[in-house]
Amino acid sequence: MHRYGPSTALLVVDVQNDFADPAGSLYVRGGEQVVERVNAEVEGAVRDRARVVCTQDWHPEHTPHFARDGGAWPVHCVADTWGSALHPALRVPDTITVIRKGANGEDGYSAFTMRDPVTGATVPTALEPLLREAGVTDVVVAGLATDYCVKETALDARRLGFATTVLTDAVAAVDLQPGDGEAALAELRDQGVILARTQPA
């Protein structure tokens, strides 16, 4: 387990049915194992008084993010559907903070920033102010998917000056092209993100 403390936040990225359940529309291979690893981390983080924040990919029925509207992805994580719900095996205290991304049709993958699909402007989410107000200096990222939301979240955390760790055995990649997940981890390392495991290989 990672070492947590009051100035650390564990960011649990998009552990939702559409990504983590084999019946989900954008199922990420290995998603179920990620849920178990994340549960252990959440338990440790809560015990050691770290902040825990869960994110949800949260799309309207139509968004340029979806292939049917000109984007890249099958329909997934539509607001208030089974697919957008947190995976039922994810164990988080009900006092948890949840950040929902994309509710107004914004695009982009990071938990910190969204992109207005019309103007291209970058819009911050509530995450950074929330972490700053809590005195957080260190961010630990786990969840789905390595090559999209985990990567962009960790890169933004680093840019914003947080000491940033990605838990490489508590993430899984879409791998549209084989190797995308590995390439994402290499880029993260190049950008000063620490890669760590929750348990020995």
3-state secondary structure of 69: helix
Please choose, out of 30-38, 113-121, 143-151, 178-186, the segment that lies near ligand VGL by the rule CB under 6 A.
143-151
Name every residue whose Cβ is closer than 8 Å to that of residue 95 and which is 6 or more positions away in sequence: none
Give yes or no for a contact between 141 and 167, defined as CB atoms under 8 angstroms apart: yes
Q: Which of 4, 27, 58, 73 binds ligand VGL (CB under 6 A)?
A: 73
Which of 107, 147, 149, 156 is the catalytic position? 149
Q: How far apart are CA 113 and CA 123, in angstroms?
A: 5
Active site residue 149: yes
Active site residue 80: no
Q: Does 14 bind ligand VGL (CB under 6 A)?
A: yes
Q: Does 145 bind ligand VGL (CB under 6 A)?
A: yes
DSSP-derived secondary structure letter, 112: S
Q: Does 148 bind ligand VGL (CB under 6 A)?
A: yes
Helical H runs in the chain? 17-20, 31-47, 127-133, 151-159, 180-190
Active site residue 151: no
Give yes or no for a contact between 25 and 97, defined as CB atoms under 8 angstroms apart: no
Residue 155's binding partner among Zn ion, ligand VGL, none (Cβ under 5 to 8 angstroms by kind) is: none
Q: Which of 12, 144, 154, 184 binds ligand VGL (CB under 6 A)?
A: 144
3-state secondary structure of 133: helix
State which residue, 57 or 106, has the beta carbon closest to Zn ion.
57
Amino acid at 139: V
Q: Which of 57, 138, 147, 152 binds Zn ion (CB under 5 A)?
A: 57
Which of 77, 101, 151, 175 is the catalytic position? 101
Give yes or no for a contact between 8 and 140, defined as CB atoms under 8 angstroms apart: yes
State which residue, 7 or 25, has the beta carbon closest to ligand VGL.
25
Return the structure tokens found at 96.
């948890």
Catalytic residues: 14, 101, 149
Interface residues with ligand VGL (CB under 6 A)? 14, 19, 57, 73, 109, 144-145, 148-149
